[in-house]
């Protein structure tokens, strides 16, 4: 299969506040990579802020440049809200 035929070429997995890119999200990425070798899986660090009103803006500024075009963004826990907004 040609990678250009895929609906998305990259899957971005965002971890929850209590996790890290090397935790459960990283383990899931490794398992998925085995089944989908043509898809790139990335697990960026989600910034943790104490100010909930500005946390989305700060995360969007830091995360959006890391997300390539034609990406599927999946968030776990509170990062699910970031994933919805960034998608």
Whole-model pTM: value is 0.80
Q: H helices within 1-87, ranges in order?
A: 24-35, 52-63, 79-86
Domain regions of the chain by residue span: 3-86
pLDDT in tens, 8-53: 889 999 888 778 888 888 899 999 999 999 899 999 887 766 556 6
User: What distance in Å separates the CA atoms of residue 29 and residue 26, rounded to the nearest whole number?
Assistant: 5
């Amino acid at each position: 299969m040609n990678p250009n035929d895929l609906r998305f070429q990259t899957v971005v997995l965002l971890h929850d506040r209590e996790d890290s890119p090397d935790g459960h999200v990283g383990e899931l990425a490794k398992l998925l990579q085995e089944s989908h070798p043509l898809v790139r899986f990335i697990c960026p660090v989600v910034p943790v802020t104490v100010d909930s009103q500005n946390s989305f803006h700060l995360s969007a500024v830091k995360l959006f440049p890391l997300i390539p075009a034609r990406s599927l963004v999946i968030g776990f826990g509170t990062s699910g809200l970031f994933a919805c907004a960034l998608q």
